[in-house]
Structure 1
Amino acid sequence: MSWYLKVIKNYVNFRDRARRKEYWMFTLVNALIALGIFVIEMLAGIDGWLYGLYSLFVFLPSFAVAIRRLHDTGRSGWWILISLIPIVGAIVILVFMCLEGESQSNKWGQNPKFGGGYL
């Protein structure tokens, strides 16, 4: 949960780097919360507005952590636009998110795995 809160707190940080663990833990907790909201909506008979509010709440943090993850692999945040290409774009982004980050400092900062990055 601390990784999730770390991403939420840094929701407008588009300039640093994010480890794989930070990205994937955020994604896991985000998916579990979304699933919980979906189940609550189904049981309560609500027609999706609660999930819509949550999606709006996590849109910017999700976008920012994806860009920081791309920075960790040595790519510009503009690579996120490749996800607009159906199927192929999603596969490319998935591969990028799974790749190990650069072990040295790059133009977006120090390796966050070894103490670099933000709080």
Structure 2
Amino acid sequence: MPLIPLFSAFFLPRGRITRSEWLTRVAIAALVCAAFGNLAGNAFGDVGSGLFALLFIWMAIALATQRLHDIGRRGSVLVFAIVPVLGPIWVVVQLLKRGVEHANRFGADPAARADYLKVNIAE
């Protein structure tokens, strides 16, 4: 995967992703940041591991925003996560909802398979 699409997939809060893509990308981000954070923590102390913690928070917010775009919501609803107890629960429920099955203002449906089972009998 080229570097620019990889960067936008993890760091930019644009576009839409499916639930499975979201969970996969969050897991990858967590594992990478934990591993490199541990190495940086051993080499540079709390500052090194703190930088990777901040990097993970940035990626988690960007990925959650992409996921919210799939259900037609803005990323700004993540602010509700600061409401004690009910806020994080509500945000997780939103993140796990099924995405809309058509294009919305945030882009095309990432789960659409337009040419699935299309047979060209002319050949």
The alignment's TM-score, normalised by the length of structure 2, stands at 0.70
Q: Which residues of structure 2 form unaligned runs of 5+?
A: 115-123
Larger C-alpha radius of gyration, 1 or 2? Answer: 2
CA displacement at 1:115 relative to structure 2 = 6.2
CA displacement at 1:69 relative to structure 2 = 0.7
User: After superposition, what is the alpha-carbon deviation per residue over 1:72-100, rounded to whole angstroms, capped at 9, x for unaligned?
Assistant: 01212221111111221111111111111
User: After superposition, what is the alpha-carbon deviation per residue over 1:16-59, rounded to whole angstroms, capped at 9, x for unaligned?
Assistant: 212112211121122223443566578x4964322211123333
The whole-number CA distance in structure 2 between the counterparts of 1:59 and 1:35 is 12
Q: Which residue number in structure 1 is paired with residue 99 of structure 2? A: 101
CA displacement at 1:7 relative to structure 2 = 5.8
The whole-number CA distance in structure 2 between the counterparts of 1:89 and 1:17 is 22
Q: After superposition, where does 1:1-119 map in structure 2 within 5 Å?
A: 8-10=7-9, 11-12=11-12, 14-37=13-36, 44=42, 47-114=45-112
What is the root-mean-square deviation in Å for CA atoms of aligned residues? Answer: 2.8
The alignment's TM-score, normalised by the length of structure 1, stands at 0.72
Is contact 1:8–1:61 with CA below 8 Å preserved after alignment? no
State percent identity of aligned pairs: 23
> Paired residues, what number?
111
Q: Which residues of structure 1 form unaligned runs of 5+?
A: none
The whole-number CA distance in structure 1 between the counterparts of 2:5 and 2:32 is 16
